Structure 1
Amino acid sequence: MLLTASTIKDSLPHVQRFVTGNLAGGADHLVVFLDAGDAEVRAYLDEHPHVTCVRTDKSWWHGDRPAELNVRQRINANVVKALLSVVEGPEWVFHVDGDEVLQVDRAALAEVPAATRVVKLAPLEAVSQRSWDGDPTWFKRLLGKGDLTLLLTLGVIDRPSNGALFHGHVDGKSGVRPALDVWLTLHLGVDADGTELDAHTDDRLRMLHYESFSGEDFVRKWTSILAAGPMANFRPAREPTAVALNALIGKGLSEEQARPYLMRIFERTTLDDLDTLRDLGLLVEVDPRAGTHVPAAWPEGARERFEELLGRVAGEDKRDFHPGRPASAAQAVLDRVVGSGGGLRGARSFLRRS
């Protein structure tokens, strides 16, 4: 089985695209931690047969909620990884964001050597346009030096690098075999010292990134990032955008007053030349909802076991699951969780009540 772990704050249509796309693209079950969300989103996730939803409110963080979104994401992903290490069935867990969709050929995943502990998914990034009729289906792929130099010469990008072509990350995302001595970061699988582990790659293993694919999504995404806590570390190419948006939002303008300036920032920093990229054969056309994967069933009792453990770990301090902490610290928490009392009914009610 392949599971994903995600920390999400988004609208219902985007969450529906995330769930539908990931299940069609290769995932068997999604674990979603709601960083915040309205009742409509919670109801959709709670009722979905292939989703486990946990609301990360005060009862999850016990008044010690990490200020940085990136820290909350890492902790939540590694909680899932640790719990799955003692549950029958799941073989892989991938850390993906709410604007990312797996495109995992399960036959290719089955070919990964048993000794390999990390799989890396190459990114495909949605082409940014002022607006789309529905969800985007054209995606940029990582390019070689020749194509990047061509785009630079044509004035499509300002330097010959994939960091100039992509507006989001170029690192892709990783999945690991559940164990306590390997950690998921935002993009990598690492050991106890934070050293990146060797990862298996394959052209059939990739992920779609809906990074600021429209003017509207650009505004939504960046205002959400800036409201999520202290500004995260952005790669140099994107940091000026974050600083500019932060300054604009700090002007106290109304939404109507700010919108034209937000769109100007989008057009100057993010809008892509779809026609040129497509004409030159540098794009990939993908409809994630058209995937044919059918989610596999859990072994008997395994989902109940996992959700019971999730209910129990809610009462623990979860910072020991952050990358960089010793495996022994996470093991101590896991030992308490596995050995503690509490019935299945109590665990399920915690998840639903969340």
Structure 2
Amino acid sequence: MLLTVSTVLDSRANVEHFVRSNLAMGIDHMVVFLDGPGAPGQREVRDWLETVPQVTAVPCDRSWWNGERPRSLNVRQRANANIVASILADQPWATWVFHLDGDEVFAGDRAVLETVPQETGAVWLTPLEAVSQLEPQGWPTRFKRLLEPDDLHLLEVLGMLSEPANRDYFHGHVKGKSGVRPSSGLRLTLHEAVHPDGQVAPRAEDPALAVLHYDAISGEEFIRKWTAMLGAGPAQYRQNRATVADALRALVGKDLSPEAARRYLLRIYETTTQDDVATLDELGLLVHRDPTQGTHRPEPLGAEQQGVLADGLARMAREPKRHFSIAAHAPRPPEPAPRWWERAGRRRDRDRG
């Protein structure tokens, strides 16, 4: 059974897309921590989540944090993810737990996931980033993939990148997301699988294991997301995103009318985030994914499994949580270990032949 854990503060429409898409694309159960249960609109989000049997909703109110709510969103995210991994550590039915944000959708081939050797405790999902347009028609189905140097140089020469690097091409993260076998004892950061001491763990990789990232799919979503992020407390950003955050803080601090503030916010969006979708499409650099076409039928939790999760969360609600927030302390190993997918691919080819 595949599970996700997320810490979310978003609109009901976005949360519905997040939940329905993940369940359609291969996830069986989702644990959703509501980061601001008292914020406007969050009661409606919680009420809807509680109608979905494949979701366990956890309001992160004062009682959850026992009066010790970490200021940093990243700390809260890591703590919540590892609480769930810890609860499920002795549950053989919980095969994988993935740490996803509320704007991310699992897009992995479950058949490939089943070929990961049992002794391998972590897998990586390569990022695919949804294109960003000022006023898109519905949820985007075209995604940017990580590019090789030749294509990055092409985009640089065309004036579409300031440097030939995926971190400049992607507006969101390029680190992907990780999943762990809870039984492995490994823990989760925002992007990595780590040992309890924070050392980065070896992970299995395969091109068929991916995560869809809807970072800022429109001008309106750019404004909403960055406003929410800046209000969620301290967070770590890579350099180009930190620059955007600093610029937005400076703008918010100006004594501007709402109309003027919105005009400048959209100007920042257009200069930092909007994609030239037509050019990227013509150059063959985009891939198509549509989670609404997913056909997965989630495996339901049985009464005993529901009890394990509910009892574990109730127990954890009474405990301090900072020690669950583990940060990575070592660089990513140069090679994924083991490189099992090449052997698995050859086996699949032989079977088809």
* Fold agreement, TM-score > 0.5: yes
Contact 1:88–1:299 (Cα < 8 Å) also in 2? no
Tell me what 1:105 maps to.
Answer: 109
Aligned equivalents of 1:258 and 1:324: distance in 2? 36
Q: How does 1:152-231 map to 2 (within 5 A)?
A: 152-179=156-183, 181-230=185-234
Offset, 1:193: 3.1
Offset, 1:196: 1.4
Contact 2:251–2:261 (Cα < 8 Å) also in 1? yes
Contact 1:89–1:299 (Cα < 8 Å) also in 2? no
Q: How does 1:253-272 map to 2 (within 5 A)?
A: 253-272=256-275
Moved over 6 A (4+): none
Offset, 1:233: 1.8
Question: Is 1:32 paired with 2:32?
Answer: yes
Q: How does 1:14-29 map to 2 (within 5 A)?
A: 14-29=14-29
Contact 2:54–2:300 (Cα < 8 Å) also in 1? no
Contact 2:189–2:327 (Cα < 8 Å) also in 1? no
Contact 1:125–1:208 (Cα < 8 Å) also in 2? yes
Contact 2:106–2:211 (Cα < 8 Å) also in 1? yes
Offset, 1:186: 0.2
Q: Deviation per CA, 1:95-148: give whole Å up to 9, x if none.
A: 000000000111011000001000000000011110111111110000000110
Structure 1 residues 169 and 324: CA distance shift in structure 2, 3 A: closer
SS of structure 2 residue aligned to 1:4: strand
Tell me what 1:283 maps to.
Answer: 286
Structure 1 residues 134 and 313: CA distance shift in structure 2, 3 A: same
Q: How does 1:119-130 map to 2 (within 5 A)?
A: 119-130=123-134
- Segment of structure 1 superposing worse, 115-124 or 148-157: 148-157
Question: Is 1:133 paired with 2:127?
Answer: no
Tell me what 1:302 maps to.
Answer: 305
Give the counterpart of 1:314 among 289, 298, 317. Answer: 317
Paired residues, number: 324
Question: Is 1:4 paired with 2:4?
Answer: yes
**Residue type of the alignment partner of 2:219:** G
SS of structure 1 residue aligned to 2:140: coil
SS of structure 1 residue aligned to 2:179: strand
**Residue type of the alignment partner of 1:125:** E
Aligned equivalents of 2:164 and 2:17: distance in 1? 32
Contact 1:127–1:139 (Cα < 8 Å) also in 2? yes
SS of structure 2 residue aligned to 1:208: strand
Please, which runs of 5 or more residues in structure 2 have no aligned partner?
329-353
**Residue type of the alignment partner of 1:223:** T
Aligned equivalents of 2:314 and 2:197: distance in 1? 29
- Segment of structure 1 superposing worse, 68-77 or 173-182: 173-182
SS of structure 2 residue aligned to 1:47: coil
**Residue type of the alignment partner of 2:237:** F
Question: Is 1:86 paired with 2:90?
Answer: yes
Contact 2:78–2:190 (Cα < 8 Å) also in 1? yes
Calculate the aligned-residue CA RMSD, in Å: 1.4
Tell me what 1:328 maps to.
Answer: none
Offset, 1:194: 1.8
Contact 1:192–1:324 (Cα < 8 Å) also in 2? no
Question: Is 1:239 paired with 2:242?
Answer: yes
Q: Deviation per CA, 1:203-253: give whole Å up to 9, x if none.
A: 1110100011110011011111110112x2211121111100011111243
Contact 1:88–1:302 (Cα < 8 Å) also in 2? no
Contact 2:123–2:178 (Cα < 8 Å) also in 1? yes
Structure 1 residues 312 and 254: CA distance shift in structure 2, 3 A: farther
Aligned equivalents of 1:324 and 1:152: distance in 2? 34
Normalising by structure 2, we get a TM-score of 0.89
Aligned equivalents of 2:197 and 2:318: distance in 1? 27
Tell me what 1:329 maps to.
Answer: none
Contact 2:128–2:213 (Cα < 8 Å) also in 1? yes
**Percentage of pairs with the same residue:** 52
Offset, 1:88: 4.2
- Segment of structure 1 superposing worse, 65-74 or 194-203: 194-203
Aligned equivalents of 1:254 and 1:286: distance in 2? 40
Contact 2:130–2:215 (Cα < 8 Å) also in 1? yes
Tell me what 2:13 maps to.
Answer: 13
